[in-house]
Chains A and B, each alone.
Chain A
Amino acid sequence: MKKLLLATALLALGTSLASAQTVRLGTEGAYPPYNFINDKGEVDGFERKVGDELCKRAELTCEWTTNEWDSIIPNLQSGNYDVIIAGMSITEERDKIIDFSDNYIPPATSAYLALKADVDVKTGVIAAQVSTIQAGYVAESGATLLEFATPDETVAAVRNGEADAVFADKDYLAPIAAESGGELVLLAEEVALGGGVGLGIRESDTELKGKLNAAIQSMKADGSLNALIKEYFGEAALTF
């Protein structure tokens, strides 16, 4: 009897189960052109297109959700969503706690953005987003690391002089430099970091990983992934 009462009370909280299992995709929503929230309020960007296409090919029903970058891995572990699709580079450190699919963007270059081209990146104050491979690289390089929770705060720090330069994916910084009217410039020094961008999946979700890997392979095989990369990152971008 008590179990019945408890069950009714709790079931009132959960909604009814759909017959097809919905896969929830978690993204950051603050990193154009990879992922951002467009002016209509929807998730948009390269990863929106890739995610929708992968779900179609793997025959999954997908729901998009956003989450702050800082807590994106712990919330995957808690089950708030099932896949991280947020420009997350494959690194050994992350691989220890979650699983990665095959990469869907080849290892990209990271670059520095600053107010002038003669900044010394080995000794200056460099801004980077928390928990990124770029932050780890700056911390090891001997420069002073200044961390921020979101990518656009790191750029704002350079604009207002808090930091000498920001270190992030070149694909994120290039449009900012181009549209700043000469105010911000990309430095000549570039570094290749990480093993490419992959999907983050819980280690116990091996079936989902298999389905997504098959979908990624099929997108690489028929050239649709390369077409999307060229569309969002320009003709000069690295492709598969």
Chain B
Amino acid sequence: MFAFCADPSTLDGLPWLACYLTTGKHLDFYWSFVVVLLLLAITAPLALGMGFLGAMASRSPVLPLRVIGRTYTAMVRGVPDIVFFLFFVIALDQGLEWLLHQVVCPDWDQPIRQGTEFRVCPQAKIPASSASAFWYQVDGFLRAVVTFALVFGAFAANVIFGAMQAVPKAQLETAEAYGMSHAQVFSRILVPQMWVFALPGLSNLWVILIKATPLLFLLGVQDIVYWARELGGSKTSAYEYPHPDWRLWYFLGLMVFYLFATYLSEKVLGRLTAKLSRGQATAAGEALRKAGA
């Protein structure tokens, strides 16, 4: 990156470190932090949406919906994350390719499953064989987002279901007495009051989601854990910047990143909880009233 990095074997000390920390591989490492933050930014609202849908389905008076909602919440929570990741992602990948194969290659005569192989026609591969490495990373990333949203959506559905049940019945009855329709009761009374009960559980889930992002690495997406492992391992002079085993330092760096992300999240969620506790019949609401008086 700098002009003096042209011949790394002549460098020592701080210049060597400066050149080492700015190689192409290290820049990829720094970008992967952005990838992780992007994953969090996209997955959290999706998981929240799935949670809402799951909770509403679980509370629905319609039996099939209720069954779907409750099965989703119970089943996905019961399967270990790693198993879900490894199985579901492959199933999603092959399922989409199979569907595309049915559409674009109707006259393909060979069977798709040959022994242990899964072969669809070349036009049905997602992404296409000729796509660059970037698209493969995007594909892996998107599959990860879908899987995370599904898994964390089930946990969120459980939390939101509990929160909805916790809203005092008296509030809902009063709203009905005022003549509000079911939808109005839901949107004006139930949901705003549900948040204060849902927040502790949801903030817990958010922190767990932050910690679960290394599962991206299982999918071959080059996330921060992948790069820390790759960059930290001892390097012989086959590389331009040989060094001994530095994994400790890289993983220490990752730990600082995760702790910092958690610390920031705690601060923001604490403020949110305080704001939502105003006027509520909870201990936090009571504390706010006492402080205000």
Contact = CB atoms under 8 A, between A and B. Distances in A.
Q: Which of A30, A40, A82 has the most CB of B within 10 A?
A: A40
Contacts of A175: 236-238
Nearest to B139: A13
B214 interface: no
B242 interface: yes
Interface string B1-36: 000000000000000000000011101100000000
Interface of B: 23-25, 27-28, 90, 93-94, 96-97, 99-100, 103-104, 110, 114-120, 122-133, 135-136, 220, 229-230, 233-234, 236-242, 245, 247
Contacts of B236: 32, 175-176, 179
B136 A22 contact: no
Contact of B234 (A29, A82, A156): A156
Contact of A40 (B23, B96, B126, B128): B23
Given A37-B230, A41-B24, A97 B130 contact: no
Contacts of A24: 129
Closest 6 CB pairs of A and B: A152-B233, A18-B130, A40-B24, A32-B238, A41-B24, A22-B130
20 contacts: A11-B104, A13-B126, A13-B127, A15-B127, A15-B130, A16-B128, A17-B122, A18-B130, A21-B122, A33-B238, A37-B230, A39-B239, A67-B220, A77-B116, A79-B120, A150-B233, A156-B245, A175-B236, A204-B114, A204-B115
A159 interface: yes
Contacts of B118: 77-79
A234 to B, nearest CB: 13
Given A36-B239, A39-B25, A14 B122 contact: no
Interface stretch (A2-10, A189-197, A210-218): A2-10
A190 B103 CA distance: 55
Contacts of B100: 10-11, 13-14
A209 interface: no
B229 to A, nearest CB: 7
Contacts, number: 131
A7 B103 contact: yes
A18 B128 contact: yes
A32 B240 CA distance: 13
A6 B103 contact: yes
Given A22-B129, A203-B115, 10 more contacts: A10-B103, A13-B96, A13-B127, A15-B130, A15-B135, A16-B128, A36-B238, A65-B136, A78-B118, A176-B236
Given A21-B122, A150-B229, A14 B127 contact: yes
Q: Which of B23, B130, B241 has the most CB of A within 10 A?
A: B130
Contacts of B230: 29-30, 37
A18 B27 CA distance: 30
Q: Which of A21, A39, A179 has the most CB of B within 10 A?
A: A39
A153 B247 CA distance: 10
A20 B129 CA distance: 10
Contacts of A202: 117, 119
Contact of A21 (B110, B129, B239, B240): B129
B130 A61 contact: yes
A63 interface: yes
A123 interface: no
A90 B120 CA distance: 27
Nearest to B25: A41
